[in-house]
Structure 1
Amino acid sequence: MASKLNVTLNILLVLFIISFANVIRFPLTPINIETKRSLGYPRDSLLNFTELTGIYGYPAEEHRVVTDDGYILTIFRISRGKKYHGKTKRPPVILMHGLLQSSDAWLDAGPEDGLAYLISDAGYDLWVGNVRGNYYSRSHVRLNPDRDPEFWKFSVDEIGFYDVPAIIDYVLYYTKADKVNYVGFSQGAGTYFVMCSERPEYCDKARVLITLAPAARQKNTKSVLYRTVTEGINSLENILRLSGVQEVFSKGALSQEFLAFLCHLNWASEFVCATGEALFDSFHPGSINNVTLKNLFGHFPAGTSVHNMARYGQSMRSERFEKFDYGKSKNLQLYGSTRPPEYNLSAVTVPVIAVYGANDHLVDTQDVDWLMDKLPNVVEAVKVRDPLWNHMDVTYSSMTKTLLLPTISDYLLKYSYD
């Protein structure tokens, strides 16, 4: 009886979260930019990627990439860092965000701590990606995301098969480089593994893969909130689809606007929002400062599909890193087997560096260890020396420069050339 009650409560919680996050999607921003400024919203929380980099002296270019299946992705380039005056190092570096994030996540900690600023200041031609479904890549050559449910029929499976290869091809074509260096956080790493399994020729287009809290199997995830939401969406996907809910946690939806409003208030950001972020991940006092906390909720969550969230719910339950499980009959039709096929992690032949935290409640160290055992060319797996380092620290911590950047810089330099 207690177990059934828990299941019922979890389902009700997920329905509430989805309703709060997505049922009310504003066609226009409910509070305009000028009003937000007058209310004291932080300036940086209201700016987009090129505006943010520009005001700090890092002019960025905006580029459009079209995938083989018609999605239009917006990516950004910082060709030279403000603090670097030497010859730009080669090859170009691609920096890829995690689930429910956008390219802005790499800027929210500011020019002293945001990895986009730090990597460009180290002398690299930096390309910052966005994947389908977030607010920078909510476009298609044929489909309208507000009218066509087909737009939202994607998960990490499609992101890895289409988006990552398209971005790599575009960067190589534009820069005339022969290879890239790739830095992927969480989903941004997991989708690279998908690509190597399904399109191994692309695995050879990188000199090195630096993974930050890489998300593949997530069987041991400790975050109760994250697990409840993703597993709940996995169970309720068909109901949500029939109810017309295809997109979740989008920028401009009630959830994001509410968080942006609440967290710009000093008392709320210091207590309510910081505590909420910690409950989603884990507590790391002093790591994400109050200014960054206010900025990030202007850009987070950035949106994705119900189907992608359901895919993460599946990863919580499975011992394998596998394709989406549609059920026995549809699996048989699509895959030729009743179980979804495993991704071939032995195909990830590129040199891999993994950097992860002991206190990460989204990508648990047990799952990182499992992944490292499966990959054939792991150069080093580095546990961040701060025992409280968690998942969200990767993009937002004020200690990035001392705890994360040295490892990234060492390996980018090792696999670079003049």
Structure 2
Amino acid sequence: MMFSFISKIKSNLYLFLLILIFIGAAKLVVSLKTSDKILEFGYPLEIYETQSKDGYMLGLERIPHSRNVNKTSKIGKPVLMVHGLYGTSMLFAAVNTSQAYALSDAGYDVWLMNFRLSGISKLIKDPKSGIIPPLQNVSWDFSMEELAIYDLTASIDYVLNITGYEKLDLTGFSLGNTIILIALSELPEYQNKVNKIVMIVPTTRMKTYHAPAWRMYFLIKLRIKGEKYIPKLPDYDNQIFGYNCMKNNLFWKYYCRNVVNSVQGISLPYNRKALELLKVYPQPTAVKVLFHVYQHIRSDHFCKYDYGPIQNIKYYNSTVPPDYDLTKIIVPSYILHSKIDSTATPEDIKWLVNQLPNVKKTRFIKEARHSHLGIIINSEANKITNNFMVQSLNDNS
């Protein structure tokens, strides 16, 4: 009885802190951007913007060469890094051992993508009005498919146009890989523009995803309330939760660790500095994107957005949404995943590997300290994730 009571208290505390993630924001600190971190660690920075075919502005940060080489040195091959759900390009640049710097030091021309209305993309002025449109005034009627066929393709085309290369490499984390795979299956001509795909804990079909019941309840409530996007934060990025997690305070250290672990399902060692990532997390995300993810959790399929039987007939000429055909993707693929990942589970990764016809290498991490988010922000990421990415991109087999 006492155990049940304590468990309930802990659950409520975790939920309270997670609510802070969604609704709280701190005005006490200055804005933190990916560009701030790139410059802080001494790397060169260029910022670009482009526009998707459906009218959304997209911002990209570029690290054209390592801090350790002369500016006149030849710029290497371009690699476009694609972040995951609720994220920004900060995911790959939060600390000095992050993946963007590892690829830059390996000689690559690193481009960091930000999906529509996230990161620097939400801070770009509308080319027609000359103002930054308030989030509540823009259309949030898009799913993962629009992020794939409009945002990712626009970014690929822009990078190739600027660099003069015919092909680039793609690396993604979690949902970023989902977007990559949707784009290449739906628009196979873009496979001619990609050398390799390096996927870190990719999510596609999520049949064995382990989620607390409250997440499902939360999504259902959002649909009932008619929300278009969450979280509904002001345009400044720094949030109460991330700010407090950076404090050298035992209370916040304990609860920040537990909240992060409740999201990813495992206790892990991480660099406390990496928690600066929480100052810009979560970014506003369309509820329609969340429901598209939810589809892949509650079914055995990796498929298009489900509008319901009647609307599906209108969009797809079928009562059910068609599956994405991953067997069409012949681009060489590399996959890193973890045994205790509760989001991209080994069972679902195995399903993905069986679908893709040209998987060159998979690495399966058995150590319990490497979970879904931990595989990126873990203090040992430079030994595992970074090495895997560099070795995969350098692979000439």
TM-score bracket, shorter-length normalisation: 0.7 to 0.9
**Is 1:247 the equivalent of 2:250?**
no
Provide the C-alpha distance between the structure 1 equivalents of 2:353 and 2:134, rounded to a whole number of angstroms: 37
Structure 2 counterpart of 1:64, one-letter code = E
CA contact (8 A) 2:376 2:385 kept: no
1:146 to 135, 145, 155: 135
CA contact (8 A) 1:155 1:307 kept: yes
Secondary structure of 2:101's counterpart equals helix
Tell me the equivalent position of 2:199: 211
In the TM superposition, 1:4-403 aligns within 5 A as 31-33=27-29, 46-84=31-69, 88=74, 90-108=76-94, 110-111=95-96, 113-138=97-122, 144-148=133-137, 151-224=139-212, 228-229=214-215, 231-241=216-226, 245-249=227-231, 252=234, 257-265=239-247, 266-286=249-269, 288-293=270-275, 295-403=276-384
Measure how far apart 1:51 and its partner are.
1.9
Provide the C-alpha distance between the structure 1 equivalents of 2:263 and 2:21, rounded to a whole number of angstroms: 16
Provide the C-alpha distance between the structure 2 equivalents of 1:134 and 1:267, rounded to a whole number of angstroms: 31
Q: CA RMSD in A?
A: 2.8
* Alpha carbons of structure 1 residues 66 and 415: separation in structure 2 relative to 1, 3 Å: farther
User: What are the superposed Cα offsets for residues 164-219 of structure 1, whole Å, 9 maximum, x if unpaired?
Assistant: 11100000000000100111111111111111121110122111000111111111
Provide the C-alpha distance between the structure 1 equivalents of 2:116 and 2:262, rounded to a whole number of angstroms: 27
Secondary structure of 2:279's counterpart equals coil
Secondary structure of 1:382's counterpart equals strand
* Alpha carbons of structure 1 residues 283 and 192: separation in structure 2 relative to 1, 3 Å: same
* Alpha carbons of structure 1 residues 50 and 16: separation in structure 2 relative to 1, 3 Å: closer
Segment drifting more, 76-85 vs 92-101: 76-85
Measure how far apart 1:160 and its partner are.
0.8
Provide the C-alpha distance between the structure 2 equivalents of 1:61 and 1:334, rounded to a whole number of angstroms: 40
Provide the C-alpha distance between the structure 1 equivalents of 2:32 and 2:357, rounded to a whole number of angstroms: 42
CA contact (8 A) 2:239 2:280 kept: no
* Alpha carbons of structure 1 residues 372 and 323: separation in structure 2 relative to 1, 3 Å: same
Measure how far apart 1:347 and its partner are.
1.6
Provide the C-alpha distance between the structure 2 equivalents of 1:181 and 1:415, rounded to a whole number of angstroms: 13
Structure 2 counterpart of 1:211, one-letter code = M
Provide the C-alpha distance between the structure 2 equivalents of 1:178 and 1:240, rounded to a whole number of angstroms: 46
CA contact (8 A) 1:93 1:181 kept: yes
Structure 1 counterpart of 2:45, one-letter code = A
Structure 2 counterpart of 1:257, one-letter code = Q
Structure 1 counterpart of 2:162, one-letter code = Y
User: What are the superposed Cα offsets for residues 358-409 of structure 1, whole Å, 9 maximum, x if unpaired?
Assistant: 1111111111100110111111111125343111023211111111122211
CA contact (8 A) 2:32 2:237 kept: no
Measure how far apart 1:129 and its partner are.
0.5
Provide the C-alpha distance between the structure 2 equivalents of 1:148 and 1:63, rounded to a whole number of angstroms: 24
CA contact (8 A) 1:251 1:300 kept: no
TM-score using structure 2 length: 0.87
